[in-house]
Amino acid sequence: MTRWRTLRADNVESGLSLVELLVSVVLLGVCLVMISGLYVSATRSLGSASALGANTREASNGMNAMARSIRAATANPVASPALADPAIAAATNESLTLFAYVNLGLSTQQPVKIRLEVDAERRLVETRWPSVPLAGGLFSFASTPLSTRILAQTVAPEGSGPPLFSLTDSAGSILPLDIAPTPVQLRSIVTVTVNLTVQTSATDARSAVTLSNTVGMPNVRFAMVGP
């Protein structure tokens, strides 16, 4: 009897019980969930930071390009009537057409016609038309654009914030753009406020970036005041 008990004691196998195994599996699962959660969170944060940086660069580049054109806006003299065409030829909440001297790469200084607008795909597009010299130092503009370039890929939907363009006259009054302004009203404009919001897509505003800039038109103001 004693020998049998001794053999049984010697043959006892060591290891994990079923309860211990279940506890280990549960703890491992908890650790995996925590690690995967941290990984997903880090990935999302990195994606958001990357999208925010890209939108910031795009908004900054687009704003700089628009400000440069608007700041150089100049009235376009014509033979008749005596008053020159206003520096801003047409304007809506999301479109601005103007005359400017920004073609500094040419040997002779000639104006260009520039249109800044948001197209049907919510892209901010700049279109330029070259000038055609006329007698008496006057200029007309070609019907075929000289160049077209995209300044921003995705502008926030209209109505989600302030309008892209807002015009202010010499008296400090904001010109409503719900209806087409008259040439008389456009001649009084001295500053353009640009509110540009760029986002990842038309429906994703989580990484949207908004820049606002009030751009003066010194050539227009100088023409009003005189030398």
pLDDT digits (tens, 9 = 90+) for 62-91: 999 999 999 999 998 887 767 788 999 999
| pLDDT score at 163 | 94
- Residue 13: pLDDT band by 50, 70, 90 thresholds? low
The sign of the CA dihedral 156, 161, 163, 167 is negative
Residue that is written with structure tokens 């005596």 in the block: 82
> What is the domain partition of the chain in residue ranges?
49-225
74, 111 contact by CB (below 8 A): yes
Kind and range of the H or E run holding 220: helix 218-225
Distance, in Å, from the CA atom of 185 to the CA atom of 169, rounded to the nearest integer, reads: 8
192, 220 contact by CB (below 8 A): no
C-alpha of 171 from chain center: 30
pLDDT digits (tens, 9 = 90+) for 194-207: 999 999 887 777 88
